[in-house]
Amino acid sequence: MSRVITGLFQEVFGRPYSPTNQDDRVMIQKNTYLLEKLGLELGDFWFLWDTFGPYSLELRNAVSDEVTKENEPIQYSDFAKEQINSIKCIIQLGQSIAQNPRDWLEVVCSLHYLKNYIIAEGDVISELERRKPHFSNRSVTSKALDIVNTIDTMGCYNDSCYES
Amino acid sequence: MIPVTNPESDYRITFNDRILDSVHGYIELTPVERKIIELPIFKRLQSIKQLSLVNLVFPGAEHTRYTHSLGVMFLVDKMAVQLGFTDGDRQLIRLAGLLHDIGHYPLSHVGESAYKPPTKAYDTFIQMHIDQTLQDIEKVERPADLLHAGGIKDKPFHHEAIGARLIENSKEIKNLISSYCNFINPLHICDIIIGRYSKFPTLSAMIQLMHSELDADRIDYLLRDASFSGTSYGVVDTGIIIKNLACENKYGVDIVGIKPKGISASDQFLINRFFSKSQIICNRHVAALEFMSQAIIRYVAEKELFDFPKAKNLRQYVNKYESDNTFMKFTDHLFWNAVYALDKDNDNIKHPTYILNFAHMLARHQEIKTINGTDITCSGMEYEKLLRSIRASKPYINLESNNKSTFDRFVEGYEPSHGTVMDDYLIQKAHVVSLTDNIPEKEYDKRFFSENGDSNVDKNGERKENYNKYRLQDGLVVIDKNDGGTDIHLLVDDNRSIIKSIFPLRLAILREYNMFKYEDENDVYKRTTT
């Protein structure tokens, strides 16, 4: 399955996964987390809150030595393709407001985790700001929260969500 | 223990009705429970068998998710009383027990597996099955741990996530709760059902009663499955287990565990669950029937045939179940309707050959044939040795060979030209059964914390405490009060438990079936049109 996970990384970010690159290590965690929340079965990963938001030790172990092999392309199911497209749309929206994919995915995943697993009542964005003061731009975090709400309600995020 | 519901509430548990259950005797009902079980969305569970098609092999196993839900409510309340819950908290956990399976699929876990969308694209169903079987076999060497915990149940297609979504969107359930017990937040029921420990730490004890290795759900299904199937693997000393439950605070949360006097009963529970799985769920006839049914459900759901919703639309149907009855009809009846319709339709231009054959067999309560001498069953605690035995077997060699084959569209094709029936089309199916999901603390540390991958020692220390907390919340815990204080640890770390010695035990089964032969019949199956 780790081969599929690094393959999904390449599919979304357009380049192979490198376990020695810290940005890649963060992004593979966020990419896998979101794809699981969108319904892909990628393994029994237990995500807990950590420095950069939801993080799975099991996932870290699974991909610690894994490098995407470009000569072994994986054919994805239609459902997987739709959800890969959801992540691409999310990244695209981030880029449209000058957010780099790593930070943007961290904001989206952190808000999703806080909303669904941490915050019982109250403002999720304020909680994010409390835990991660560097994410204090409300126009950015409120857009990220819209994405989280769409994922929770619709189970996907596509171009039409982006346009709306 | 801090009460979850308002302790000032003057709510008292009073029963105004009862239902006779063949496992627990009379199960008494409070007014709100009486109203909920009258709702069609709850009665839907009467049409979902607890053990899918096991009744075709063990004829008594006709029990449903409906009676199981009542049984879980009954047992979880006994546990709550033992732990000294307030009446308000008892009502909350009783409702969680009653509603925990409300999101279940047709044929229970068979339907649930069929609805998991594959990540990879497969040309044929068989290729997907081969890939899955190879992955199942790999599970032999995967150390057990608590990865079933935390957010795992929150995968969108898990029946508990579906159930929580349904409650969140159900005006009728929420209205009843607010009319009869307005001190209960329906979202707490959802969080208990899914097992969201981190969102409401105060729910910790309640979640463990529904979501741990020794919870009311598992105890009820073990008792019920044995009682109805007629097997003897359901002997659980429920009285001793419940009377020895205790709750203590550790890592800032309530941890429910068993006192030392309950250790043997807990050992017996885990061992009987192991046998129950290996003898009932992994029975070769049951496995064949489930394989066929799963293939049919996957097919009809993908094509949206016979009112089966497509996986990606399921969430929407759950959201609007009060205005659209698609989800209300999502029961075993829908599956059997599809089977009979496919059998009647019998059109191999419209449907793949294997689907028509499976429907024809299932409509006659027949299953595909196990190939004699290919039933490979190995048990052991040395995983490499176990894997070697499996990999040296003929079914595995055939499986690998199948994996390398380019499958023609013969079996799955829609072309009308393939009127011939295959003589031998062998497929393999694997099962791996483990004794416990827990591993001793030393092994866990070795696995996750021996190498500090992120070069931040303090961070790792914090992580470790977090993981230890969740391991206790999700595992089978011993609470030992002695002169030196209170010791709280997992059963697998307790010298008095035999599980400590045998926790790595695995049972691996690999079998081979012929897709086109009836069980107990030598002739190649021929459909009525050929």
pLDDT tens per residue, range A8-30: 999 999 999 998 899 999 999 99
More confident position, B150 or B135: B135
**What distance in Å separates the CA atoms of residue B38 and residue B19, rounded to the nearest whole number?**
12
Q: Which residues of B touch A77 (CB under 8 A)?
A: 117-122
- Residue B206: per-residue pLDDT: 96
CA dihedral for B207, B208, B209, B213, sign (positive or negative): positive
- Residue A70: per-residue pLDDT: 58
Q: Is B182's pLDDT higher than 70?
A: yes
Q: Does B156 touch chain A (CB under 8 A)?
A: yes
Q: Does B319 touch chain A (CB under 8 A)?
A: yes
> Predicted ipTM?
0.86
CB contact under 8 A, A40 and B119: yes
Residue range B77-91, pLDDT digits in tens: 999 999 999 999 999
Residue range B210-231, pLDDT digits in tens: 999 999 999 999 999 999 999 9
Q: Which residues of chain A have pLDDT under 70?
A: 65-72, 159-164
Q: Does A51 touch chain B (CB under 8 A)?
A: yes
Q: Does A38 touch chain B (CB under 8 A)?
A: yes
Listed in sequence order, the DSSP H helices in B353-427 are 353-363, 383-391, 394-404
- Residue B521: per-residue pLDDT: 54
Please, which residues have CB within 8 angstroms of residue B342's CB and are 6 or more apart in sequence? B296, B300, B351, B355, B356, B359
Question: Mean pLDDT throughout B303-318?
Answer: 92
CB contact under 8 A, B120 and A42: no
pLDDT band for position B495 (50/70/90)?
Answer: very high
pTM value is 0.92
Question: Mean pLDDT throughout B259-286?
Answer: 95
- Residue B372: per-residue pLDDT: 81
Q: Does A75 touch chain B (CB under 8 A)?
A: yes
* DSSP line for B260-329: GGGHHHHHHHHHHHHHHIIIIIT-HHHHHHHHHHHHHHHHHHHHT-TTPPPHHHHHHHHHTTTT-TTTTT
Residues in chain B: 530
Which among B149, B157, B447 has the least Cβ separation from residue A39? Answer: B157
Strand partners, B64: B49
The CA-CA-CA angle for residues B12, B16, B18, to 5°, reads: 120
